[in-house]
Chain A
Amino acid sequence: GAVVSQHPSRVICKSGTSVKIECRSLDFQATTMFWYRQFPKKSLMLMATSNEGSKATYEQGVEKDKFLINHASLTLSTLTVTSAHPEDSSFYICSARPLKGTEGDTQYFGPGTRLTVL
């Protein structure tokens, strides 16, 4: 149980285009999903917290107009990188926190999406 999927697993795009990444909890419901960014050999950096049905909460220094987050249902959150630039190239990982009392108080991570902006 507690499987989180991400799509796509890898994307290469041209500078200036927008890229959408989906995060789905496959076998549980998640009121809260998290989006992280990870640079090579570095730890996870929390970008934003996404709650179903409400606006995302962004960490300091993360541009909310550049990284659009939508949490449309209890099993789906999307991250859209708008007008992507080469410096946005990174490994983006989502996680989902199950509803309390189901899978426990922890986060389950997706496999990540590697974004390369040319």
Chain B
Amino acid sequence: QKEVEQDPGPLSVPEGAIVSLNCTYSNSAFQYFMWYRQYSRKGPELLMYTYSSGNKEDGRFTAQVDKSSKYISLFIRDSQPSDSATYLCAMSASNNNDMRFGAGTRLTVKP
């Protein structure tokens, strides 16, 4: 079993839809949870950063962490074509020296 599981997609939605991206993990020591967005042939860009359980909202993006279920989610409201990218979840136990990434989900938002 991989430490971090993420459905690679691809996921295609119409503009304006709510997008739900998810990851599951097996290491209960993970405390730091991140979502990165990566456009084609570019480096990942940090979108959301959450410590421990709970929700965090930033504009159209909401990150949720459920440590009891070892499940994290990223919601994108009112999705736009510019949101089309690969979304990577990442997590670590402490200080990010052992960050583990999901496989990334390719998202396409169609106009």
A residues neighboring B (CB under 8 Å): 2, 4, 6, 32, 34, 41-44, 46, 49, 91, 93, 95, 97, 100, 104-112, 114
How many whole Å from A25's CB to the nearest CB in chain B? 13
Knowing A44-B88, A109-B36, the reply to whether A49 touches B97 (Cβ < 8 A) is yes
Q: Which A residues are CB-close (under 8 A) to B103?
A: 42-43
Whether the Cβ atoms of B45 and A107 lie closer than 8 Å is no
Whether the Cβ atoms of B96 and A112 lie closer than 8 Å is no
Asked whether B95 is an interface residue with its Cβ less than 8 Å from the other chain, the reply is: yes
Cα–Cα distance between A95 and B97 once the two chains are bound (Å): 11
Q: Which A residues are CB-close (under 8 A) to B41?
A: 91, 112, 114
**7 tightest Cβ-Cβ pairs between the two chains A and B:** A109-B43, A111-B43, A112-B43, A43-B103, A109-B44, A43-B101, A44-B101
Whether the Cβ atoms of A43 and B102 lie closer than 8 Å is yes
B residues neighboring A (CB under 8 Å): 8, 32, 34, 36, 41-46, 49, 51, 88, 95-97, 99, 101-104, 106
Whether the Cβ atoms of A106 and B32 lie closer than 8 Å is yes
Q: Which of A41, A44, A46, A104 contacts B49 (CB 8 A)?
A: A104
Whether the Cβ atoms of A105 and B43 lie closer than 8 Å is no
Q: Which B residues are CB-close (under 8 A) to A49?
A: 97
Cα–Cα distance between A41 and B36 once the two chains are bound (Å): 15
How many whole Å from B41's CB to the nearest CB in chain A? 7
How many whole Å from B24's CB to the nearest CB in chain A? 15
- 5 CB-based A-B contacts, threshold 8 Å: A91-B41, A107-B99, A108-B46, A109-B36, A109-B44
Cα–Cα distance between A6 and B49 once the two chains are bound (Å): 23
List 8 other contacts, CB 8 Å, given A97-B96, A105-B51, A109-B36: A6-B43, A43-B88, A43-B104, A44-B44, A106-B49, A108-B46, A109-B43, A112-B42
